[in-house]
């Protein structure tokens, strides 16, 4: 009769085996997602969407990533009409993105967007690897 050897591993040991070949979590830097939400004044949702796309063009001219613009379909008093978001590799990149001088053309976009919106929110999210 053949003998069989049983190998019993604890949950911790299994997790350790699963992590072989992967960097430690503490060494990974979480990606950062920045979102801006815009609630348009009545009848201005399409214009807010167009101006947010223009703002992305201006960002690109300034040498920073454009991000992406999402324009909501349908009507809602709760959800934003337009969302802009960008994913950055880490917090230092996010800080660099914030301090990039916007220039007069981008300030013009901000000023005009303020005339089209009733509410604006900025949020930052971490995307753990």
Angle between helices 45-61 and 103-116 in degrees, nearest 10: 170
Indicate the burial class of 117 (C-beta count within 10 angstroms; 0-12, 13-18, 19 or more): buried
Q: Does domain 26-127 have CATH number 3.30.70.100?
A: yes
- The per-residue pLDDT for range 65-100, each reduced to its tens digit, is 999 999 999 888 899 999 999 999 998 888 888 776
Taking the CB of residue 3, how many other CB atoms lie within 10 A of it? 4
Q: Which two tokens stand for residue 92?
A: 């230092």
Residue ranges of the chain with per-residue pLDDT less than 50: 5-17, 19, 25
């Amino acid at each position: 009769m053949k003998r069989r050897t049983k190998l019993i591993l604890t949950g911790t040991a299994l997790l350790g085996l699963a992590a072989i070949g992967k960097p430690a979590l503490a060494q990974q830097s979480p990606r950062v997602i920045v979102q801006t939400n815009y609630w348009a004044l009545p009848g201005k949702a399409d214009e807010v969407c167009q101006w947010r796309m223009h703002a992305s063009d201006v960002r690109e001219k300034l040498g920073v990533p454009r991000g992406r613009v999402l324009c909501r379909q349908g009507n809602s008093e709760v959800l934003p009409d337009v969302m802009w978001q960008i994913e950055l590799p880490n917090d230092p990149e996010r800080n660099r993105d914030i301090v990039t001088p916007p220039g007069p053309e981008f300030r013009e976009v901000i000023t005009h967007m303020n005339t089209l919106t009733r509410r604006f929110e900025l949020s930052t999210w971490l995307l753990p690897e």
